[in-house]
Amino acid sequence: MYLADEAWPDLEAYFESESLALVPLGSTEQHGPHLPESTDHIIAEELAREAAAQTGYLCTPTVNVGISRHHRQFPGTMWVSPDTFRDYVREITRNLTYHGIDRVVYVNAHGGNVDALREVAKDLHAAEECYALEWMWDESIPDLVSELFEHNGPHGGPKETAMLRYLTDLVHADRLAEARDGGVRDIWNEEEAYQNGAATFFDARDNSDNGVFGDQTDATAEKGERLFEAATEQLCELCEWLAARDEAELLPADPV
């Protein structure tokens, strides 16, 4: 069920019988010369809507702009501050709790959002308003990602490229070699990026000329389909697990 497509009487019926919602979140930021700036929010929305379709749970509209200041040197990137993002997500979640939702899955597809989402979830839990979980799609299927790609890369790499090739026709397939050769294939082995165990970079532009990492040339729609189906299965299982929890299990523990 997609909230924005429903009339209020149908949503009222949902809130009377269910207490879980999925909130997709992504970003609008550079993803190299080969991917659209909508990459993250497309992935988040497609996963959330597919999981909602399979389980019957509610999916909200997508948060399309996230914490992306570290990509600002590339044209078109949009971002908000962490404080603004946290406040916005907190208010959206409280919209849902007003209608009776007490458990939420933040379906996230942008690494820059992770810390803020977890902080919001902790605050809502401590206040006994809601039990919210941050879920990052690729972290739910790490073995499959490693199996499919030798040089994955944390941003604009083959996993995102494969997903977009499966989900859309927005990938510039003729620029995959350009993305690989103009970026950094393996950032974890870049000596310039770390000093005595400390990361020495702040922005993507600090260590990648075109803003992406990994080897995009082996990203296919077929691999994207495998990623999408596996991640959707994980998300559906998470929703069912969360929905089955007794309300008392979702409250903060009593003091010692």
pLDDT, one tens digit for every residue, the chain (256 residues): 999 999 999 999 999 999 999 999 999 999 999 999 999 999 999 999 999 999 999 999 999 999 999 999 999 999 999 999 999 999 999 999 999 999 999 999 999 999 999 999 999 999 999 999 999 999 999 999 999 999 998 899 999 999 999 999 999 999 999 999 999 987 656 666 778 888 888 999 988 999 999 999 999 999 999 999 999 999 999 999 999 999 999 999 989 8
* Alpha-carbon span 225 to 221, nearest angstrom: 6
Q: Would 79 be classed as within a structural domain?
A: yes
Number of domains the chain is built from: 1
Q: Would 51 be classed as within a structural domain?
A: yes
Q: Would 179 be classed as within a structural domain?
A: yes
* Alpha-carbon span 219 to 231, nearest angstrom: 17
Q: Would 256 be classed as within a structural domain?
A: no
Host domain of residue 173: 3-250
**Which whole-number Å values give the CA distances from 157 to 35, 102, 145, in the listed order?**
10, 36, 11
Query: What pLDDT does residue 70 have?
Result: 96
| Partners of 134 in beta bridges | 106
Query: What pLDDT does residue 187 have?
Result: 67
* Closest C-alpha to 41, from 204, 170, 211, 152: 170
Q: Would 190 be classed as within a structural domain?
A: yes
Instruction: Read off the CATH number of the domain in which 228 is found.
Output: 3.40.50.10310
Q: Would 111 be classed as within a structural domain?
A: yes
CA geometry: angle at 178 spanning 177 and 183, to 5°? 105
Query: What pLDDT does residue 189 have?
Result: 61
